[in-house]
Amino acid sequence: MLYPSVKRLREAFPGKALRLRAIMEECGDQGEELEGTMDQLDTVLDGHGVELISGSGDTAANDSYFPDVQALYVNMGDTYTPTIVYDLVDERYLLTTMGDEVEHLQNQHGIEVW
Task: Give the start-to-end residue ranges of the domains of the chain.
Answer: 6-104
Tens digits of residue pLDDT in 11-31: 999 999 999 999 999 987 788
> Which residue type does 59 have?
T
> What Å distances lie between residue 60 and 57, 89, 100, CA to CA?
5, 6, 17
Q: What angle is formed at CA 42 by the lines to CA 24 and CA 44, rounded to 5 degrees?
A: 75
Report pLDDT for 27: 87
108 falls in which pLDDT band (50, 70, 90)? confident
Give me the numbers of helices (H) and strands (E) for the chain, helices first please: 4, 5
Report pLDDT for 28: 78
pTM across the whole model: 0.91
* Nearest-angstrom CA–CA distance, 55 and 57: 7
